[in-house]
Amino acid sequence: MNLAGARLASSPRGRYSPARAPVAPLHRPRPTDPRVLHALRIFLAALCLTAAGAVAAADSGLPLPRFVSLKAGEVNARAGPGFRYPVNWVFLRKDMPVEVLEEFGQWRRVRDIEDAGGWVHQRLLSGRRAVIVAGAEHDLYREPDTSALLAAHAEAGVQGRLLSCSGAWCQVDLAGHRGWMPRAHLWGVYDGETVE
Protein backbone atom coordinates (compact mmCIF):
# COMPACT_ATOMS: atom_id res chain seq x y z
CA MET A 1 0.00 0.00 0.00
CA ASN A 2 1.35 3.42 -0.90
CA LEU A 3 1.54 5.72 2.12
CA ALA A 4 2.94 8.76 0.36
CA GLY A 5 0.86 11.80 1.21
CA ALA A 6 -1.40 9.90 3.59
CA ARG A 7 -2.21 11.43 6.92
CA LEU A 8 -1.41 9.51 10.03
CA ALA A 9 -3.81 9.35 12.89
CA SER A 10 -3.10 7.97 16.30
CA SER A 11 -5.02 5.00 17.40
CA PRO A 12 -6.26 4.51 20.94
CA ARG A 13 -3.33 2.23 21.65
CA GLY A 14 -0.76 4.74 20.49
CA ARG A 15 0.05 3.13 17.19
CA TYR A 16 -0.06 5.02 13.99
CA SER A 17 -2.12 3.85 11.06
CA PRO A 18 -2.74 5.46 7.72
CA ALA A 19 -5.93 7.40 7.40
CA ARG A 20 -8.34 6.42 4.72
CA ALA A 21 -7.36 8.28 1.58
CA PRO A 22 -9.43 8.23 -1.61
CA VAL A 23 -8.22 5.32 -3.73
CA ALA A 24 -8.85 4.85 -7.46
CA PRO A 25 -11.23 1.93 -8.00
CA LEU A 26 -9.88 -1.31 -9.44
CA HIS A 27 -12.81 -1.56 -11.84
CA ARG A 28 -15.38 0.77 -13.29
CA PRO A 29 -19.01 0.45 -12.34
CA ARG A 30 -21.41 -0.67 -15.04
CA PRO A 31 -22.84 2.31 -16.89
CA THR A 32 -26.46 2.84 -16.00
CA ASP A 33 -27.04 6.21 -17.57
CA PRO A 34 -29.25 5.67 -20.68
CA ARG A 35 -27.10 8.07 -22.70
CA VAL A 36 -23.97 6.07 -21.88
CA LEU A 37 -25.72 2.81 -22.79
CA HIS A 38 -26.91 4.29 -26.10
CA ALA A 39 -23.41 5.51 -26.95
CA LEU A 40 -21.99 2.10 -26.06
CA ARG A 41 -24.52 0.35 -28.34
CA ILE A 42 -23.62 2.66 -31.23
CA PHE A 43 -19.90 2.02 -30.67
CA LEU A 44 -20.41 -1.77 -30.64
CA ALA A 45 -22.57 -1.66 -33.76
CA ALA A 46 -19.90 0.36 -35.57
CA LEU A 47 -17.26 -2.10 -34.42
CA CYS A 48 -19.30 -5.05 -35.76
CA LEU A 49 -19.82 -3.33 -39.12
CA THR A 50 -16.10 -2.64 -39.37
CA ALA A 51 -15.34 -6.29 -38.66
CA ALA A 52 -17.87 -7.39 -41.29
CA GLY A 53 -16.24 -5.02 -43.78
CA ALA A 54 -12.87 -6.60 -43.03
CA VAL A 55 -14.26 -10.04 -43.95
CA ALA A 56 -15.76 -8.68 -47.18
CA ALA A 57 -12.42 -7.06 -48.01
CA ALA A 58 -10.80 -10.50 -47.76
CA ASP A 59 -12.95 -11.67 -50.69
CA SER A 60 -11.22 -11.64 -54.06
CA GLY A 61 -13.19 -8.86 -55.73
CA LEU A 62 -13.38 -11.02 -58.87
CA PRO A 63 -16.72 -11.37 -60.66
CA LEU A 64 -19.24 -13.98 -59.58
CA PRO A 65 -20.02 -16.46 -60.96
CA ARG A 66 -16.75 -17.43 -62.69
CA PHE A 67 -14.96 -20.58 -63.76
CA VAL A 68 -11.71 -21.84 -62.20
CA SER A 69 -10.03 -25.25 -62.02
CA LEU A 70 -8.95 -27.59 -59.24
CA LYS A 71 -5.25 -27.60 -58.31
CA ALA A 72 -5.19 -31.06 -56.75
CA GLY A 73 -6.37 -34.55 -57.63
CA GLU A 74 -8.35 -34.81 -54.41
CA VAL A 75 -10.28 -31.76 -53.17
CA ASN A 76 -12.79 -31.79 -50.31
CA ALA A 77 -16.02 -29.86 -50.85
CA ARG A 78 -17.48 -29.00 -47.44
CA ALA A 79 -20.99 -28.18 -46.25
CA GLY A 80 -19.91 -24.70 -45.14
CA PRO A 81 -17.03 -22.22 -45.37
CA GLY A 82 -14.59 -23.69 -42.84
CA PHE A 83 -12.67 -26.78 -41.81
CA ARG A 84 -15.18 -27.49 -39.04
CA TYR A 85 -17.90 -28.32 -41.60
CA PRO A 86 -18.29 -31.91 -42.83
CA VAL A 87 -17.10 -33.00 -46.26
CA ASN A 88 -20.02 -33.48 -48.67
CA TRP A 89 -18.08 -34.35 -51.82
CA VAL A 90 -14.53 -35.18 -52.83
CA PHE A 91 -13.51 -34.01 -56.30
CA LEU A 92 -11.04 -36.51 -57.78
CA ARG A 93 -9.90 -34.90 -61.06
CA LYS A 94 -7.02 -32.46 -61.08
CA ASP A 95 -7.53 -29.44 -63.40
CA MET A 96 -11.28 -30.09 -63.52
CA PRO A 97 -13.31 -26.93 -64.17
CA VAL A 98 -15.64 -25.76 -61.41
CA GLU A 99 -17.86 -22.71 -61.21
CA VAL A 100 -17.39 -20.33 -58.26
CA LEU A 101 -20.83 -19.19 -57.09
CA GLU A 102 -20.04 -17.46 -53.80
CA GLU A 103 -17.11 -16.29 -51.65
CA PHE A 104 -16.65 -16.07 -47.90
CA GLY A 105 -13.20 -15.01 -46.75
CA GLN A 106 -10.77 -17.62 -48.10
CA TRP A 107 -13.56 -20.05 -49.03
CA ARG A 108 -15.34 -20.48 -52.37
CA ARG A 109 -18.66 -22.23 -52.96
CA VAL A 110 -18.25 -24.19 -56.19
CA ARG A 111 -20.16 -26.65 -58.35
CA ASP A 112 -19.12 -29.04 -61.09
CA ILE A 113 -20.74 -30.04 -64.39
CA GLU A 114 -23.09 -32.42 -62.53
CA ASP A 115 -24.13 -29.71 -60.03
CA ALA A 116 -22.25 -31.41 -57.17
CA GLY A 117 -20.31 -29.05 -54.99
CA GLY A 118 -19.67 -27.31 -51.74
CA TRP A 119 -17.18 -24.95 -50.08
CA VAL A 120 -13.52 -25.28 -51.11
CA HIS A 121 -10.53 -23.38 -49.72
CA GLN A 122 -9.12 -20.95 -52.28
CA ARG A 123 -5.61 -22.47 -52.15
CA LEU A 124 -7.03 -25.58 -53.85
CA LEU A 125 -8.33 -23.55 -56.82
CA SER A 126 -6.47 -22.17 -59.81
CA GLY A 127 -7.33 -19.36 -62.20
CA ARG A 128 -6.10 -21.57 -65.05
CA ARG A 129 -9.09 -22.28 -67.27
CA ALA A 130 -10.27 -25.75 -68.18
CA VAL A 131 -13.29 -27.23 -69.95
CA ILE A 132 -15.22 -30.48 -70.17
CA VAL A 133 -16.83 -31.73 -73.37
CA ALA A 134 -20.57 -31.68 -72.62
CA GLY A 135 -23.42 -33.71 -74.05
CA ALA A 136 -22.38 -36.35 -76.58
CA GLU A 137 -19.31 -36.98 -78.73
CA HIS A 138 -18.18 -33.87 -80.60
CA ASP A 139 -15.61 -33.08 -83.27
CA LEU A 140 -12.48 -31.03 -82.62
CA TYR A 141 -11.56 -28.97 -85.71
CA ARG A 142 -8.17 -27.59 -86.76
CA GLU A 143 -9.74 -24.20 -87.52
CA PRO A 144 -12.86 -22.47 -86.14
CA ASP A 145 -15.06 -23.71 -88.96
CA THR A 146 -17.14 -26.89 -89.35
CA SER A 147 -15.74 -27.37 -92.87
CA ALA A 148 -12.13 -27.43 -91.55
CA LEU A 149 -10.10 -30.62 -91.12
CA LEU A 150 -10.79 -32.66 -87.99
CA ALA A 151 -8.16 -32.79 -85.26
CA ALA A 152 -9.97 -35.41 -83.14
CA HIS A 153 -13.28 -36.79 -81.94
CA ALA A 154 -13.93 -36.06 -78.26
CA GLU A 155 -16.28 -38.08 -76.07
CA ALA A 156 -18.53 -36.46 -73.50
CA GLY A 157 -16.68 -35.91 -70.23
CA VAL A 158 -13.25 -35.41 -71.78
CA GLN A 159 -11.42 -32.70 -69.88
CA GLY A 160 -8.92 -30.24 -71.34
CA ARG A 161 -7.37 -26.79 -71.20
CA LEU A 162 -9.18 -23.73 -72.48
CA LEU A 163 -6.74 -21.71 -74.58
CA SER A 164 -8.95 -18.98 -76.06
CA CYS A 165 -12.52 -18.13 -77.00
CA SER A 166 -14.06 -15.59 -79.31
CA GLY A 167 -17.49 -15.64 -80.86
CA ALA A 168 -19.01 -19.10 -81.05
CA TRP A 169 -15.66 -20.99 -81.02
CA CYS A 170 -13.11 -21.92 -78.38
CA GLN A 171 -9.59 -23.19 -78.88
CA VAL A 172 -8.84 -26.08 -76.55
CA ASP A 173 -6.18 -28.67 -75.82
CA LEU A 174 -7.76 -32.07 -75.17
CA ALA A 175 -5.13 -34.64 -74.15
CA GLY A 176 -2.51 -33.10 -76.45
CA HIS A 177 -4.90 -32.54 -79.36
CA ARG A 178 -5.21 -28.82 -80.06
CA GLY A 179 -8.13 -27.55 -82.01
CA TRP A 180 -11.37 -25.62 -82.10
CA MET A 181 -14.76 -26.64 -80.78
CA PRO A 182 -18.08 -24.78 -80.73
CA ARG A 183 -18.57 -23.09 -77.37
CA ALA A 184 -21.99 -24.74 -77.01
CA HIS A 185 -20.28 -28.17 -76.69
CA LEU A 186 -18.10 -27.11 -73.73
CA TRP A 187 -18.76 -26.70 -70.02
CA GLY A 188 -16.40 -24.26 -68.32
CA VAL A 189 -16.95 -21.13 -70.39
CA TYR A 190 -19.88 -18.71 -70.52
CA ASP A 191 -21.83 -17.64 -73.60
CA GLY A 192 -20.32 -14.45 -74.96
CA GLU A 193 -17.22 -14.65 -72.71
CA THR A 194 -13.93 -13.71 -74.35
CA VAL A 195 -10.90 -15.70 -73.21
CA GLU A 196 -7.41 -14.82 -74.40
Q: What average pLDDT score do residues 83-110 get?
A: 97
Q: Which pLDDT value is given to residue 7?
A: 37
pLDDT for 33 equals: 59
Fold agreement (66-128, 131-187) = yes
What residue segments make up the domains of the chain, in order of their start? 66-128, 131-187
Q: Which fold has domain 131-187?
A: SH3 type barrels. (2.30.30)
CATH number of 66-128: 2.30.30.40
Mean pLDDT for the stretch of residues 132-147 = 95
Q: What is the pLDDT of residue 35?
A: 65
Closest CA to 3 of 14, 16, 136: 16
pLDDT of residue 27 exceeding 80, the answer is no
Q: What is the pLDDT of residue 60?
A: 82
pTM value is: 0.69
Q: Given this model, what pLDDT does residue 146 score?
A: 94
DSSP the chain: ---TT--EEE-TTS-EEE-------SSPPPP--HHHHHHHHHHHHHHHHHHHHHHHHHS----SSEEEEESSSSEEEESSSSTTSPEEEEE--TT-EEEEEEEETTEEEEE-TTS-EEEEEGGGEES--EEEE-SS-EEEESSSSTTSPEEEEE-TT-EEEEEEEETTEEEEEETTEEEEEEGGGEESS-TT--B-
Q: CB neighbours (10 Å) of residue 93?
A: 18
